[in-house]
Homo-oligomer: A and B are copies of this chain.
């Protein structure tokens, strides 16, 4: 049994780890170090406060600081860690203080990938992440007339939608040929793009940022398609694993730049665990390591890491990555791989595509759903899915993630039973229609 557990990071992974460690070994000393002023809030909610859907930042906090005190978790705020020393089971704080541990959990999260263009150090570039900074940016957003969002990443899409909701003239820039190109297929993102344009967002695809211009503070963005003047620039570049401390201590880093862990969330160093955006895990279908998943993954991984750090035994499940987010007037989502990624990886697949509806066609509020399923050409096992629709996307993505895990085939899905009740579900489930479409295509090829 570990008696002293140190956690670095107060995000979903770190707090998940601290709570699980305390739950596993109630007598253990659990200490969390965070460089920030707060822990245990939902950063994912920030774009929605900016957009006005949520009233205030305070509501994003999950618990009062006293809650952690009461739970016996000792959190050191605004206390950055300078280095970790797995060889002597010790971390060194920025002020030089040495803290020893029996087990260490790294929940160091991510940083925005540097844009690498001139002017990146100018003021006025907003990297959405910390809640205190978000509070400071809120009046800037409220005053802004024109905003540029660089990269149509998940956070970029959320921020572009939020700014458009606020009535800000918004330019969304991405060097790729369609929105969210790393995760989603072009046909899935087409209605999203159209709806963002309807919301007044100016979309510049195939356009790269060449420089941020201004004196002290950014005033315009130089792009491959010309300059765009802006009062506000949201830099929504890719998430990059924050592994500085771990790398300096010689921990093994994988192909994504994130920490390599086993299924107990153990790193290459003895008694050092890691969880959340700073680790990579193999994608179960493609075998490709992936990092920077979601807050839900971070929290779940943190709980596994914390349990094991405290002497318990839990394994982290394989990664099928159901995902989803609102973008424009739509919600997009999926599980595992889409068509683009599968093609890039040379993964053979057959497709099934449907356009269904979320409620009975005559029931007010029904929305279209486009479902695209990828199946293994031989076994017809489900490999991946992509969807765009208006409701029920989250639950269907979860369903499809589980279906991949359980080995469901096109036959299982084509003839699945489904709830039919006009206000909540249509006669034909769109997932079943997509699987039927795949079987019909194969039938026609015979």
Specify which of B403, B415, B422 is in contact with A48 (CB 8 Å cutoff).
B422
Q: How far is the CA of A284 from the CA of B422 in the complex (A)?
A: 26
The residues of B that contact A399 with a CB separation of less than 8 Å are 395, 398-399, 402
Task: List the B side residues contacting A427 at CB < 8 Å.
Answer: 12, 42, 295-296, 299
A17 CB to nearest B CB, Å: 15
Instruction: Select the stretch in A52-60, A75-83, A124-132 that faces chain B.
Output: A52-60
A8 to chain B, nearest CB (A): 21
Interface string of A375-411 (1 = CB under 8 A from B): 0000000000000000111111111011101111000
**Given known A362-B59, A395-B396, contact A408–B418 (CB-CB < 8 A):** no
Q: Is there a chain B Cβ closer than 8 Å to A356's Cβ?
A: no
Q: A306 within 8 Å of B by Cβ?
A: no
By size class, the interface of chain A is 35 or more
Are the C-beta atoms of B419 and A398 separated by less than 8 Å? yes
Which residues does chain B contribute within 8 Å of A294, judged by CB atoms? 419-421
A416 within 8 A of B: yes
Minimum distance in angstroms from A234 CB to a CB of chain B = 18
- Proximity string of chain A (298-322) to chain B, C-beta cutoff 8 Å, 1 when within and 0 when not: 0110000000000000001101111
Q: List chain B residues, Cβ under 8 A from A417.
A: 296-297, 300, 317, 319-322, 398, 401
- CB interface residues, A 263-281, toward B, < 8 Å: none
Q: Select which of B42, B324, B407, B418 is within 8 A of A424 by beta carbon.
A: B324
Interface residues of A in 78-104 (CB under 8 A from B): none
* Chain A window 416-439, contacts with chain B (Cβ cutoff 8 Å), 1 for yes, 0 for no: 111111111101110100000000
A412: which of B44, B295, B402, B429 is its contact (CB, 8 Å)? B402
A350 close to B (CB within 8 Å): no
Tell yes or no: A167 within 8 A of B by CB: no
A323 / chain B contacts, CB cutoff of 8 Å: 419
Tell me whether A116 is interfacial, beta carbon within 8 Å. Answer: no
Q: How far is the CA of A250 from the CA of B86 in the complex (A)?
A: 80
Given the complex, which residues of B lie within 8 Å of A405, measured CB to CB? 412, 416
Q: Name 15 interchain pairs, CB-CB below 8 A, sorted by A.
A: A12-B427, A42-B360, A44-B422, A45-B360, A48-B423, A59-B362, A321-B417, A324-B421, A324-B425, A325-B421, A392-B392, A395-B396, A399-B402, A401-B416, A406-B408
